[in-house]
Chain A
């Protein structure tokens, strides 16, 4: 490990330490926004671990997330609470592995559409099962407070950053970058492309399911239409792209402004949220194609080299 790595590690640890103190300052509105940010940080960062290097746009976040919330919904009365995120992670990884093996042969737009359909498929399945058993939604009534959820999510974010950092330094991370550039070259250079893609898809699936499991108590009442809402998948993609997927911290740089913007929009124009979401997406694609990360690189080039 270089001195720069150690410095970055210490700085990140300090930053986590500072934001972890937030619940002592405020347990109301600010904490609620911070919790949302923490949730999207984990989701967008883990999404970018897979989709960033490979350029496979996955819209399956809601499927994994919803799965996680239902794990908590079904399990919180009978199982120890700490085990629920772990079970969700295993199931999320399993679902991602299954889906990955079938779909990662698909490329481009076919993969996108399939992942979008997946969330819908899982939602319909859960609804069908609930209809058969006469259930509707379910109440998740626990003593878990917003502060607990926030700390859990922070811990999860630290874990995702650590895993992402390790993957980025590993052969697996390098293999994914090669796959994203040219899959044919990757294969002929000796990379098991299918295995590499499935592994990373499982990592991001597990993370999203874990987040779902942690957040279920916040929703109190969960039902398939909200737990598997496709909007979540789109939000995650937009935030990650806004931040930029070229760097590990990229998605975070998208999550913070976007959560604030979303908050502002839903307070002042609750009926136009989707319209504004679409506009934001267009703007990102046209104005910030490489996200905040790309903008930073462009500014560096512009002002770093004699300012011409």
Chain B
């Protein structure tokens, strides 16, 4: 039985009267790629934000390797081993590409500094396919390359769990293939990943399991093939079939 890395139990988030996430529970086991999918506004990003500590849950429990993380500040959770990318790419514009990655290595889960951090950042940039643009200013990067830098920065923390919030969104078809390959290679390295994604191809080919959310509630959980053929999931995405 694989080890559970992240446990989410009965997590609820209310913003005023709005319940964005309602009583969510799921586990992520080691070396697993878990997809969180669902229509727009179903609470996926809110879920990711609670795991990474952007804000605390209103109720419920989140445990990383048995330690409670719910409600801890984001920097503590990062140090405990949760790294993330952002739905809208966030790079550090005044820093070089390599410094952007060292930023992840210097303060994260396994801390590195100076030459060691730089060597590590270089190896990660090679790893995500950016060996050639290490020294250019961040502002001159193409869109997919900004996403790669962000991914390398998250990897530099050496996280226990990597959260990718719509990492593939906005890529053109060729870039998308490259992107999917890249994430697949992370999976093959045995990393534990939570993927919030809309791109169905990516979900099918990358996820071991999926949790489907609709209106803040979990409506299905299982392999991609199972959940994507689930009647309730189809209804959530496409609406009720009136003719049936």
A187-B74, A189-B108 known; A177-B95 Cβ under 8 A:
yes
Instruction: Give complex CA distance A181, B93 in Å.
Output: 7
Does B31 sit within 8 A of A, measured CB to CB?
A: no
Query: Do the beta carbons of B75 and A190 come within 8 Å of each other?
Result: yes
Closest Cβ of chain B to A180, distance in Å, is 7
Closest Cβ of chain B to A174, distance in Å, is 6
Query: Do the beta carbons of B94 and A192 come within 8 Å of each other?
Result: no
Does B73 sit within 8 A of A, measured CB to CB?
A: yes
Instruction: Give complex CA distance A171, B111 in Å.
Output: 11
**Chain B residue with Cβ nearest A170:** B113
Does B157 sit within 8 A of A, measured CB to CB?
A: yes
Interface centre among B86, B93, B106, B153 (most CB of A within 10 A): B106
**Chain B residue with Cβ nearest A55:** B94
Query: Do the beta carbons of B78 and A189 come within 8 Å of each other?
Result: yes
Does B92 sit within 8 A of A, measured CB to CB?
A: yes
Query: Do the beta carbons of B107 and A190 come within 8 Å of each other?
Result: yes
Does A178 sit within 8 A of B, measured CB to CB?
A: yes
A189-B103, A189-B108, A190-B157 known; A177-B94 Cβ under 8 A:
yes
A171-B113, A174-B106, A178-B103 known; A189-B153 Cβ under 8 A:
yes
Does B22 sit within 8 A of A, measured CB to CB?
A: no
Does A107 sit within 8 A of B, measured CB to CB?
A: no
Closest Cβ of chain A to B54, distance in Å, is 8
Does A266 sit within 8 A of B, measured CB to CB?
A: no
Query: Do the beta carbons of A188 and B52 come within 8 Å of each other?
Result: yes
Query: Do the beta carbons of B103 and A174 come within 8 Å of each other?
Result: yes
Instruction: Give complex CA distance A184, B55 in Å.
Output: 12
Instruction: Give complex CA distance A186, B91 in Å.
Output: 10
Query: Do the beta carbons of A187 and B75 come within 8 Å of each other?
Result: yes
Which of B75, B91, B106 sits near A192, CB closer than 8 Å? B75
Query: Do the beta carbons of A180 and B94 come within 8 Å of each other?
Result: yes
Q: Give the interface size bracket for B toward A.
A: 20 to 34
Instruction: Give complex CA distance A175, B102 in Å.
Output: 11
Closest Cβ of chain B to A219, distance in Å, is 40
Does A26 sit within 8 A of B, measured CB to CB?
A: no
Query: Do the beta carbons of B78 and A188 come within 8 Å of each other?
Result: yes
Residues of A contacting B: mostly: helix
Closest Cβ of chain B to A124, distance in Å, is 35
User: Which residues B115-169 have CB closer than 8 A to chain A?
Assistant: 153, 157
Closest Cβ of chain B to A84, distance in Å, is 38
> In the complex, which residues of chain A have a beta carbon less than 8 angstroms from the beta carbon of B108?
189-190
**Chain A residue with Cβ nearest B93:** A181
Does B58 sit within 8 A of A, measured CB to CB?
A: no
Instruction: Give complex CA distance A12, B154 in Å.
Output: 39
Closest Cβ of chain A to B98, distance in Å, is 12
Query: Do the beta carbons of B107 and A184 come within 8 Å of each other?
Result: no
> In the complex, which residues of chain A have a beta carbon less than 8 angstroms from the beta carbon of B52?
188
Closest Cβ of chain A to B76, distance in Å, is 8
> In the complex, which residues of chain A have a beta carbon less than 8 angstroms from the beta carbon of B94?
177, 180-181
Closest Cβ of chain B to A197, distance in Å, is 12
Does A193 sit within 8 A of B, measured CB to CB?
A: yes
> In the complex, which residues of chain B have a beta carbon less than 8 angstroms from the beta carbon of A180?
94
> In the complex, which residues of chain A have a beta carbon less than 8 angstroms from the beta carbon of B44?
none
> In the complex, which residues of chain B have a beta carbon less than 8 angstroms from the beta carbon of A178?
92, 95, 103
**Chain B residue with Cβ nearest A180:** B94
Does B178 sit within 8 A of A, measured CB to CB?
A: no
A174-B106, A185-B103 known; A190-B92 Cβ under 8 A:
no
Report, nearest first, the 10 A-B pairs whose CB atoms are least far apart.
A190-B78, A190-B107, A181-B92, A187-B74, A190-B79, A190-B108, A191-B107, A192-B75, A185-B90, A178-B103
Extra contacts, 4 of them, besides A184-B90, A189-B104, A190-B111 (Cβ < 8 A), are: A177-B94, A178-B92, A187-B53, A188-B75
Write 12 A-B pairs (CB below 8 A) sorted by A numbering: A174-B103, A178-B92, A181-B92, A181-B95, A187-B73, A188-B74, A188-B75, A188-B84, A189-B75, A189-B107, A190-B75, A192-B73
* A interface residues with partner B (beta carbon < 8 Å): 171, 174-175, 177-178, 180-182, 184-193
